[in-house]
């Protein structure tokens, strides 16, 4: 029930990749509108997560989870009913904002509901759900588009959220525990606005920059994010020293394990989001697969991700502690190297089946890395009254990594592709993106090496 939030959030992030051509045909969406349909959800989601987490600390995680789930279902219905591309852009931004309300509550609930000894199992389930949701966006999205239920076409990918969301909200209201606190923290509106503004100043140009050729405003916007963030962090620090309750407690970020876990979690998803996007482009545009078979090609990766999270990560962690994240990133690095070797060996004769072994190894690495990084962050001495805040910061790092990865690796992919359109050209573009992915994984692996082998809390 609780995990339905991250499943739906990740599903709706990735499913639009599969539906892009249908949206272009049915809504006559131009490139700018299509970029915003995909990216508007992402930057609204990422920009609101810290505030969403703090609202959970303020008003109760069960209440915010339920409200967020109902709002997400309503926003999904509006997306399905969108009469044109720009209406869909607006509704996707709204959908991302509602996702930011429900997702941090889930991690906060895990952190408060489960004893320390049981949290690794819960984190494994969370990590597996991230992977299953992302892959389901590719697989189930292709199935729904191919089935064309009731003649709804692409609209089905949004309508499916409505009954699921309402059912999850009803179950949450009935079964999730209510946590009453003697002291309710106050909301910090200035800090929330400053953090959201700084994130938006980066995420909006990242989302739109490539399609528009990186005009001057994109660079000005990203540069402006630096002083906005610096002033906001200074304000948060002063507020904390004066006994106030900031939306972001900087003492958490100064904690070594918390900080390293954020870098690993966000950095790894930078690789994974870019990898998924570029592989989708290769399979559909380069190898000519329809959405359904292209989506099904990701199923082995998803199965390995889930299996590794549930059955392997904890056993490895019991033996080597936090070094499981080093093992996970190196496993993914091996998988990506295998993929690069396959691309180089087969060239324009590439078959989708040849990509599956490398994808499966990457899936195993995902399962070792992602839940372990989440567990490291949330087990780093976070007090219960900061659980929502910590979850918001963590999920912000993850979704920021998603946005950066899709943009950076996507830009490298399209730069290598140029105006060419042959299979060999797409293979070359994927090789360039894979090399960039290897560099990202090397950095993440180095960050994982800085963690103490065992938690000190």
One domain for residues 231 and 259? no
What CATH number did the domain enclosing 436 receive?
1.20.1250.20
423: in domain: yes
CB 133 within 8 A of CB 7: yes
Domain boundary among 226, 246, 266: 246
One domain for residues 7 and 145? yes
181: in domain: no
One domain for residues 241 and 254? no
One domain for residues 256 and 239? no
Contacts of 230 (CB under 8 A, 6+ apart): none
CA distance 428 to 344: 8
Could you say which residues of the chain have pLDDT below 50? 456-457
CB 100 within 8 A of CB 45: yes
Domain boundary among 202, 225, 246: 246
Task: Domain of residue 234: give its range.
Answer: 189-246
Q: How many domains does the chain have?
A: 3
182: in domain: no
Q: Which helix (H) or strand (E) holds 51?
A: helix 31-59
CA distance 291 to 293: 6
One domain for residues 392 and 442? yes
335: in domain: yes
One domain for residues 294 and 417? yes
One domain for residues 201 and 160? no
CA distance 190 to 28: 40
One domain for residues 391 and 452? yes
- Written as six digits, the tokens of 210 are 């490539």
CA distance 166 to 161: 8
Token pair 């490895």 in the structure block, residue: 316
Handedness of CA 10, 13, 16, 18 (dihedral sign): negative
Domain boundary among 246, 273, 288: 246
Three-class DSSP labels, 339-405: HHHHHHHHHHHCCHHHHHHHHHHHHHHHHHHHHHHHHHHHCCCCCHHHHHHHHHHHHHHHHHHHHHH
Residue 457 confidence (pLDDT): 46
Number of H helices, E strands in the chain: 18, 0
CA distance 18 to 151: 18
One domain for residues 300 and 208? no
184: in domain: no
| DSSP states along 180-227 | --SSPPPP-HHHHHHHHHHHHHHHHHHHHHHHHT--HHHHHHHHHHHH
- Is the whole model's pTM more than 0.75, yes or no? yes
One domain for residues 265 and 350? yes
387: in domain: yes
Residue 414 confidence (pLDDT): 84
One domain for residues 214 and 100? no
Token pair 């995680």 in the structure block, residue: 61
Residue 253 confidence (pLDDT): 75
One domain for residues 153 and 237? no
């Amino acid at each position: 029930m609780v995990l339905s939030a991250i499943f739906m959030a990740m599903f709706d992030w990735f499913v639009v990749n599969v539906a892009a051509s249908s949206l272009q045909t049915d809504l006559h969406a131009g490139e700018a509108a299509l970029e915003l349909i995909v990216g508007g959800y992402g930057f609204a989601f990422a920009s609101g997560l810290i505030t969403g987490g703090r609202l959970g600390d303020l008003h109760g995680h069960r209440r915010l989870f339920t409200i967020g789930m109902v709002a997400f279902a309503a926003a999904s219905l509006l997306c399905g009913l969108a009469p044109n591309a720009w209406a869909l852009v607006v509704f996707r931004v709204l959908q991302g904002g509602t996702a930011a309300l429900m997702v941090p509550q889930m991690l906060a609930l895990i952190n408060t509901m489960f004893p320390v000894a049981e949290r690794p199992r819960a984190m494994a389930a969370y990590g597996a759900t991230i992977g299953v949701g992302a892959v389901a966006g590719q697989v189930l999205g292709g199935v729904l588009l191919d089935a064309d239920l009731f003649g709804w076409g692409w609209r089905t990918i949004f309508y499916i959220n409505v009954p699921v969301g309402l059912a999850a909200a009803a179950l949450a209201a009935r079964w999730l525990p209510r946590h009453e606190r003697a002291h309710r923290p106050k909301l910090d509106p200035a800090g929330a606005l400053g953090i959201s503004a700084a994130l938006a100043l980066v995420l909006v140009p990242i989302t739109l920059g490539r399609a528009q050729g990186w005009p001057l405003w994109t660079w000005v916007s990203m540069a402006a994010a630096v002083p906005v963030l610096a002033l906001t962090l200074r304000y948060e620090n002063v507020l904390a020293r004066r006994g106030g309750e900031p939306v972001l407690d900087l003492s958490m970020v100064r904690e070594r394990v918390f900080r390293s876990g954020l870098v690993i979690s966000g950095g790894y998803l930078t690789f994974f989001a870019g990898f998924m996007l570029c592989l989708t482009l290769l399979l559909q545009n380069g190898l000519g697969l329809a959405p359904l078979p292209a989506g099904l090609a990701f199923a082995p990766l998803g199965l390995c991700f889930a299996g590794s999270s549930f059955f392997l990560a904890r056993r490895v962690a019991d033996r080597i502690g936090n070094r499981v994240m080093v093992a996970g990133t190196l496993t993914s690095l091996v998988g990506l190297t295998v993929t690069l070797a396959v691309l180089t060996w087969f060239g324009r004769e590439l078959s989708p089946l040849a990509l599956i072994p490398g994808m499966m190894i990457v899936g195993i690495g995902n399962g070792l890395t992602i839940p372990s990084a989440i567990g490291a962050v949330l087990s780093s001495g976070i007090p219960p009254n900061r659980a929502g805040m910590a979850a918001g910061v963590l999920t912000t790092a993850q979704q920021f990594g998603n946005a950066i990865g899709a943009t950076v690796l996507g830009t490298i992919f399209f730069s290598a592709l140029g105006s060419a359109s042959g299979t060999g050209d797409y293979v070359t573009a994927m090789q360039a993106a894979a090399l960039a992915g290897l560099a990202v994984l090397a950095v993440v692996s180095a960050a994982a090496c800085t963690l103490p082998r065992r938690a000190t809390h």
